[in-house]
Chains A and B, each alone.
Chain A
């Protein structure tokens, strides 16, 4: 069964600190892995998208890693800001259909305190 599991479910950190969010998946055949940021009551916004051959991709203070062999990904946030408070969703796309079906994790709810 194709699944995406994220941990931790929630996380509280102080402003300026770093944090790492985890994503494990069983989606096969794999096409790409995406990290989205979703503010409360808003639609998800893409942070990174990585294919099988990419190990690391950065977007400002966000750095995503991918280990396609172990089917794990992480999202590292550096020097957190209050505006980083949001849900971070790991999404994996399969290439087994013409739709390129997306499988969503439940997200990690990050809260940054001043």
Chain B
């Protein structure tokens, strides 16, 4: 089983609130990713990181931001949540660009 963890698993919040989704891995992987997935749809890359102090935007435009201060930690923040942010957010990590990616359990976010 992969050593990558996301918290919380489920989150229901009101519009305008600031939230941070946590993601941690204990495998020492340099590369980490955030994906967004709506029901029945494919995963879309919203952020990625090559290593500490490296963050890049992905293919899908997102109002969220990320940081990578430590290798094992890659949190995602929404400054002001809106109902359009309702989705499942999946964090992943890999040792290299062409190696297996390990996924966390996901955070199901609902903004009301």
Most buried by B among A36, A41, A44, A95: A44
Evaluate contact between B98 and A100: CB separation under 8 angstroms. yes
Which partner residue on chain A sits nearest B92 by CB separation?
A43
**How far apart sit A95 and B48, CA to CA, in the bound complex (Å)?**
17
Interface residues of A in 68-114 (CB under 8 A from B): 89, 93, 95, 97-102, 104-107, 109
Q: Does B96 sit at the interface, judged by CB under 8 A? A: yes
Q: How many of chain B's residues touch chain A, expressed as a range?
A: 20 to 34
A-B contact pairs, 13 of them (CB 8 A): A31-B98, A32-B98, A41-B106, A43-B104, A44-B43, A46-B102, A49-B100, A89-B42, A89-B43, A100-B96, A100-B97, A102-B43, A109-B40
Set of chain A residues within 8 Å of B102, measured between Cβ atoms: 46
Cβ of B101 within 8 Å of any chain A Cβ, yes or no, is yes
A42 to B98, Cβ gap below 8 A?
A: no
A30 to chain B, nearest CB (A): 11
Nearest B residue to A97 by beta-carbon distance? B97
Q: Which residues of B contact A109 (CB under 8 A)?
A: 40
Interface size on A, residues (CB 8 A): 26
What are the interface flags for B30-52 relative to A under an 8 Å C-beta threshold, 1 for contact and 0 otherwise? 01000000001111110010100
Output the least CB separation between A94 and chain B (Å): 9
Check if A57 is an interface residue, CB within 8 A of chain B.
Answer: no
A95-B98, A100-B96 known; A43 vs B42 contact (CB < 8 Å): no
Taken residue by residue from 73 to 104, chain B's Cβ proximity to chain A (1 for < 8 Å, 0 otherwise) reads as 00000000000000010101010111011111
